[in-house]
């Protein structure tokens, strides 16, 4: 308690004092003698502290200013105190931004990159859109302004975005809504996939199942079971598969083209083994897709093809007319692929 006649200038308003305390945390983030990971943590502590400060302390001062309270906080009336808080916060925000840029640059020197949506390449953009669809969109719900019934509708300790909703057909009127921002799950930071993971994501977008392996024989198969059997057969005869690639069950020549591009993106592949058992996937469609792929893509490595099942006769005729070699059994295909890969390396 301040005694009467005590000079007020000896004391600092508690809210302003708290802002100076939090600036000390920011100074730890700026200190380059601290480990980089600790500097990042200090930035997080500073931000969390400031968030709580505005939600609790500034909110109280705001309410007093709104009620025209005349109480003085160590020579600061509510309105004047709010203005002073804003001035100090603006200066610290500039200090925070400069520190953040330095830390991001230091992370880049360690091959850790923090990027935003403007820095994404095509494959990363596909991954982010897929992640948003599968993990973020299910947990966000618009709260329409017209349906809000007082401040009790909104949750404390939460962040909301104000959005404008438009009818793409121009029929419904424009509406405004709030969206609560998820802060715990999903994570605020998303780790982008490696080059191999990018290929898996791109394959998924095209309806393919792909996993890169360390071998030299690229595999194109329909059905997960047949794909596993094909890889086992290659290993049985002393070879190593370069990938697991299941083109699925649809009769779509474009899938064959996409699968071929995916296999050829791996520079370790020395021969391609195609093993198709026709069911839903018709052998003649696979053959047409393969011919189309050869017309679009310059393939400089040998190909081994085995077709069996639905429309296999028609498919084999298509391949024969294009002078593409075929084999009858899976074991023959595996042995021939291994032999060709060895010859290619000589």
* Confidence at 251, pLDDT banded by 50, 70, 90: low
CA distances to 60, 135, 210, 286, 327 from 266, rounded to whole Å, are 61, 30, 12, 21, 24
pLDDT grade for 253, boundaries at 50, 70 and 90 = confident
Question: Which residue in the block uniquely carries the two structure tokens 């042995």?
Answer: 335
pLDDT in the model for residue 95: 96
Is the confidence at residue 324, as pLDDT, over 90? no
Of the ranges 16-30, 55-69, 243-257, which is most confident? Answer: 16-30
Average pLDDT, the chain: 85
Query: What residue has token string 């308690």?
Result: 1
Whole-number Cα distances in Å, 313 to 81, 180, 190, 255:
86, 59, 49, 21
**Preceding omega of 34 cis (within 30 degrees of 0):** no
Q: Which residues, in sequence order, are bridge partners of residue 243?
A: 212
- What are the helix (H) ranges across 172-281? 195-205, 224-236, 253-264
Q: Would you report the helix, strand and coil content of the chain in percent, each value rounded to 5?
A: 55, 15, 35
- pLDDT classification of 135: cutoffs 50, 70, 90: confident
CA distances from 246 to 216, 256, 285, 299 (A): 17, 10, 15, 20
Q: Which of 334, 346, 345 is nearest to 240 (CA)?
A: 334
Q: Residue 12's pLDDT is what?
A: 80
274 neighbors 287 (Cβ within 8 angstroms): no
> Using one digit for the tens of pLDDT, what is the confidence trace for 32-58?
999 998 999 999 999 989 988 998 889
pLDDT at 238: 93
Taking a C-beta distance cutoff of 8 angstroms, is the pair 218, 269 a contact? yes
Q: Using the 8-state DSSP alphabet, how is residue 134 labeled?
A: I
Which tokens in the block code for residue 227? 């794909």
Q: Residue 254: is its pLDDT beyond 60?
A: yes
Between β-strands 303-309 and 271-278, what pairing exists: parallel, antiparallel or unpaired? parallel
Is residue 268 pLDDT above 60, yes or no? yes
- According to the per-residue pLDDT averaged within each range, which of 11-15, 146-150, 335-339 is highest? 335-339
Q: How far apart are CA 120 and CA 127, in angstroms?
A: 10
pLDDT band with cut points at 50, 70 and 90 for residue 342? confident
Is residue 331 helix, strand or coil?
Answer: helix
State the pLDDT confidence band at 224, using cuts at 50, 70 and 90. confident
Is the CB of residue 337 less than 8 Å from the CB of residue 237? no
pLDDT at 250: 62
Q: pLDDT tier at 151 (50, 70, 90 boundaries)?
A: low
Measured CA distances, 24 to 45, 93, 238 (Å): 11, 14, 64
Residue 243: pLDDT above 80? yes
* The pLDDT of residue 326 is above 80: yes
Structure token digits, residue 60: 């109280």
Greatest mean pLDDT among 17-31, 67-81, 248-262, 330-344 lies in 17-31
- Is residue 13 classed exposed, middle or buried when 0-12, 13-18 and 19+ CB atoms within 10 A define those classes? middle
- Residue 65 is predicted with a pLDDT of 82
Sheet containing strand 160-165, edge to edge, reads 142-144, 175-180, 160-165
Tokens of 6: 């005590």
Residue bearing tokens 């618009």: 142
């Amino acid at each position: 308690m301040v005694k009467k006649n005590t000079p007020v200038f000896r004391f600092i308003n508690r809210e302003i004092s708290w802002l100076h305390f939090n600036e000390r945390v920011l100074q730890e983030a700026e200190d380059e003698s601290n480990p980089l990971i600790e500097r990042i943590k200090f930035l997080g502590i500073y931000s969390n502290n400031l968030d709580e400060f505005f939600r609790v302390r500034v909110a109280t001062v705001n309410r007093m200013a709104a009620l025209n309270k005349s109480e003085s906080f160590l020579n600061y009336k509510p309105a004047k105190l709010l203005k002073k808080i804003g001035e100090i916060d603006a200066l610290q925000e500039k200090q925070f931004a400069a520190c953040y840029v330095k830390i991001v640059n230091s992370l880049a020197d360690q091959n850790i990159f923090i990027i935003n949506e403007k820095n994404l390449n095509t494959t990363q953009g596909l991954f982010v859109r897929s992640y948003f669809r599968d993990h973020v969109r299910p947990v966000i719900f618009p709260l329409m302004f017209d349906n809000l019934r007082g401040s009790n509708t909104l949750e404390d300790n939460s962040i909301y975005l104000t959005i404008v909703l438009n009818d793409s057909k121009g029929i419904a009127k424009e509406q405004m809504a709030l969206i609560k921002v998820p802060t715990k799950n999903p994570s605020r930071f998303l780790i982008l996939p490696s080059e191999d993971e990018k290929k898996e994501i791109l394959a998924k977008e095209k309806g393919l199942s792909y996993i890169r392996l360390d071998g030299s024989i690229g595999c194109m198969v329909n059905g997960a079971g047949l794909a596993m059997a094909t890889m086992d057969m290659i290993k049985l005869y002393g070879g190593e598969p370069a990938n697991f690639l299941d083109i699925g069950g649809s009769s779509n020549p474009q899938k064959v083209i996409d699968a071929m591009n995916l296999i050829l993106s791996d520079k370790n592949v020395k021969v391609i083994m195609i093993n198709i058992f026709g069911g839903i996937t018709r052998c003649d469609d696979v053959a047409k897709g393969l011919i189309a792929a050869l017309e679009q893509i310059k393939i400089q490595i040998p190909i081994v093809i085995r077709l069996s099942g639905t429309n296999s006769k028609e498919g084999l005729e298509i391949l024969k007319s294009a002078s593409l070699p075929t084999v009858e059994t899976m074991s023959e295909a595996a042995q021939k692929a291994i032999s060709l890969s060895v010859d290619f390396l000589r």
